[in-house]
Structure 1
Amino acid sequence: MTYPNGNPQVGIWMYQNSGGTAIEAKLVAALAERGITAVTGLNLRDARALGGRIVCNGVEMENLAAFLSYNAGEQSQFQVYLYQVLSQSIPTINDFNAFALAEDKFRTSHWLTQHGMQTADYRLCHKHDMAGLREALHEFGGKLVYKPTDGWGGVGIVKIDSEQALNMLTPFLTRTDLRYFYVERFINYDNTDYRIDVVDGQVVGCYGRKAPKDDWKTNITSGGTVFVRELNDEVAELAIKATQLLGLDIAGVDIIYDREHERYVVLEVNTIPAFATPEQEALGINFNAKKIDAMVGLIEKRVRNQLAKLNTKVA
């Protein structure tokens, strides 16, 4: 494979809000220092697949040495579908199979639990198995959380803390085109969590999030706020283990402390964890430089491996 100016090329689609433009510029500059050219703006929304190729904004995607898709808020089914196809041809960070596993909340909890990690108690029920849902409400101490198995930012998550609340939700569940519903035991915690960023098997950042007054969801999009939080070894090890079990290159692991059972619980694993915004950096949450360095090192490693593989095929 030959590239313009001799440098291998990688593709990047990066979110542009909340400081994303500046992060992208730093990634591009750091990759250039390592002899790697970054082609930006490769939003697969603009791509077409034909003749054995995926072409996006004039770039034949299969000719790239690697691709980084880092935009959680603008993903569509079309983009994810092409991402899956692209992962079969070139290194994508994260690999699609790992990405798809971690994007599914039920599959994530089920897989981690099977491998001995503590997650929230859960149940997956057929949409017409209302008896199973009622059993879960009683078994989980009268409080559970309904979650869509996909999505992000706390969208669609509903707390159910009584038979009356369940009765109000039941007509909605039975009328939708959902094939199943997923619920978790509501965990008694202090309305704060840890968000731990992991890149290539190492922790690169940690901060805390706190739910707004009279609420319980810590997501920033749900009104949560961030604060500086010290990381302990146990939480760090849980985050790394969860990331590795899911096969992810990059992850943001959400962990809370279960006060009733006195243990840490892996609540969710995010595949596109945001960098600290300029406002968050002003609060002292300063992990962006370390995260960028780790991501650049990861991309370089994947590029070198890809080039070595291609050269072996040619030889």
Structure 2
Amino acid sequence: MSSRKIGMWLYTNSGGDKIAKKIIKKLKDRDIETLDNINLRNAIARNSNIIYKGEKLNKLDLFFSYNAGEQTQYQVYLYQALNRIVPMINSYEAFALTEDKFHTSLVLRNNGIRTADYKLCHRDDGHELRKIIKKWDKMVYKPTDGWGGLGLTKIENEETLNMLMPFLNQMDLRYFYVEKFIDYDNTDFRVDIVDGKFVSCYGRKANGTDWRTNVTSGGSVFLREANDKVVDIAIKAANACGTDIAGVDIIYDRKREEYVVLEVNGIPAFATPEQEKMGLDFNDRKIDLIVDLIDRKTKKDR
């Protein structure tokens, strides 16, 4: 009988189901039982328990949540509640931080990590936005809770801003978050970190005339080596955000001649089967580090 039991919710598309099986097998070899595919959307809370298909999740030794595409408000709400009782990977605090671009940038800057210059303005402060575009020349509007490049809008001048403002106001936003547009070569580094250790690096490049490198926005993945500076920045960014697992997006500012962190992703994807064929071979190392992390955290808890 297993002495430790964890819950896991890992995405199943793009090879995620096979990754989950490998993790479960390696955990079993360490006498750790896994309750798989636990979507908190289908759980209920009753008195002191959070229950999923008869299992009391608050009795688990750890919960490993790793699914970005199927999150619901209810699921996230229970994620927060369960983390008050059970250790998480990533913790709810780290998850919530990395889901918010403004909060992430604020934390990184206060830890001495370079990010794009940014401004957060109240929705009614259009005057401040106009001052910013005159100063910066170009900027990028970002939804604070978006991912995959969705909603990113490049603002090239005050005329573009004036055209955009009515649409933003229709969305009933409470505030606007904008970043100064950085002169870069339309490629980035995606650096994976697990438990403070470097796992891998690959590059992404924008498609054609687009400036967004996100694959969901038309960008493509290519093999890319990370230098010591990039790895050091990524580890510091992951630690600053309190993440056990992180994918840190870094670009090179050609004007200032320095590396800049664009984003810290708390649920960085494993390499897909197609990406593995092109040479991205970091999945096994990432799995081993995650299993080591779960093993250590559940032992410590006990």
TM-score bin, normalised by smaller chain: over 0.9
Residue equivalent to 1:10: 6
Aligned pairs for 1:1-315 (under 5 A) are 5-140=1-136, 142-307=137-302
> 1:84-120 deviations in whole A, cap 9, x for unaligned?
0111101000111111111110011011111211100
Measure, in 2, the Cα distance between the counterparts of 1:187 and 1:44: 39
2:44 counterpart SS class? strand
Query: Which residues of structure 2 form unaligned runs of 5+?
Result: none
Letter in 1 for 2:21: A
Contact 1:42 1:57 in 2 (8 A): no
Query: Which residues of structure 1 form unaligned runs of 5+?
Result: 308-315
Letter in 2 for 1:30: K
Flag as ranges the 4+ runs of structure 1 deviating above 3 A. none
Contact 1:197 1:205 in 2 (8 A): yes
Measure, in 2, the Cα distance between the counterparts of 1:16 and 1:177: 34
Once the 2 structures are TM-superposed, how far is the Cα of residue 195 of structure 1 from its aligned partner?
Answer: 0.3
Question: % of aligned pairs identical?
Answer: 56
Contact 2:2 2:32 in 1 (8 A): no
> 1:125-175 deviations in whole A, cap 9, x for unaligned?
0001001111111221x1100001012111111111022211111111222
> 1:219-245 deviations in whole A, cap 9, x for unaligned?
010011001101100000000000001
Contact 1:42 1:56 in 2 (8 A): yes
Measure, in 2, the Cα distance between the counterparts of 1:6 and 1:118: 45
TM-score w.r.t. length of structure 1:
0.94
2:151 counterpart SS class? coil
Residue equivalent to 1:310: none
Size of the aligned set, in residue pairs, is 302
Contact 1:197 1:252 in 2 (8 A): yes
Letter in 2 for 1:248: T
Measure, in 2, the Cα distance between the counterparts of 1:153 and 1:285: 20
Measure, in 2, the Cα distance between the counterparts of 1:199 and 1:120: 24
Once the 2 structures are TM-superposed, how far is the Cα of residue 6 of structure 1 from its aligned partner?
Answer: 3.6
Contact 1:12 1:40 in 2 (8 A): yes
Letter in 2 for 1:25: K
2:85 counterpart SS class? coil
> 1:188-247 deviations in whole A, cap 9, x for unaligned?
100000000000000111100011011010001001100110110000000000000111
TM-score w.r.t. length of structure 2:
0.99
Contact 2:89 2:244 in 1 (8 A): yes
Measure, in 1, the Cα distance between the counterparts of 2:150 and 2:79: 23
Measure, in 2, the Cα distance between the counterparts of 1:22 and 1:176: 39
Contact 2:43 2:52 in 1 (8 A): yes
User: After alignment, is 131-140 or 279-288 more displaced?
Assistant: 131-140
2:293 counterpart SS class? helix
